[in-house]
Structure 1
Amino acid sequence: MRVSEVLSIRVPRDLKKRMMALRDVVDWRREIIAFLEERVRYYERLVALREAEELLRGHPVLPRGMVVRMVREDRDSG
């Protein structure tokens, strides 16, 4: 069993009424948790991409074809 926490939010009254009218059709708890999990994964990936971009900014850019030449040189020397 996972430990859980309470998250309380305010929603517009009209939205809550509409949600309550659909409570026999929609499991709002499950829907909201699934949405939050998806958004957290999205923002975690976004942060990881930004960190990777920042790391790459510190590395020099190699001239076009340099990697191919280096691999060929390494292959030919062995």
Structure 2
Amino acid sequence: MEVISFRVPKNLKEEMKKIKVDWSEEMRKFIERKIRSYRKEQSIKKIDLIIKSLPKTKKGTAEKYTREDRDSN
């Protein structure tokens, strides 16, 4: 595992000491959530670009295909 350090104000550090929390584990979880969130956002942006690059369909196309599908059953 790699080591990452960061600074917090002294009063915050004192408050952290009062609480029985595994701060290293909390920070790992936070970072993992942030990375997952970032990746999701990037995926959504890519999907959005793909959708925007698709050709436009004529108005009523979805209704037409839905009707055809319902009529075939």
**Shorter chain as normaliser: what TM range?**
0.7 to 0.9
Instruction: Tell me the TM-score normalised to structure 2 length.
Output: 0.76
- CA distance in 1: counterparts of 2:59 and 2:37, whole angstroms: 33
Residues of 2 paired with 1:13 and 1:64: CA distance? 62
Q: Name 2:56's counterpart in structure 1.
A: 61
Residue 50 of structure 1 corresponds to 45
2:4 matches 1:7: yes
Question: Could you tell me how far 1:65 is from its partner in structure 2?
Answer: 3.1
- Could you tell me how far apart the structure 1 residues matched to 2:42 and 2:10 are? 34
Does 1:33 pair with 2:28? yes
Q: TM-score, normalised to structure 1's length? A: 0.72
SS at match of 1:6: coil
Q: Higher relative contact order at CA 8 Å, sep ≥6: structure 1 or structure 2?
A: 1
Q: CA RMSD in A?
A: 2.1
Which structure has greater helix proportion?
2
Alignment gaps of 5+ in structure 2:
none
Between the aligned residues of both structures, percent identity stands at 27
Secondary structure of the equivalent of 1:26? Answer: coil
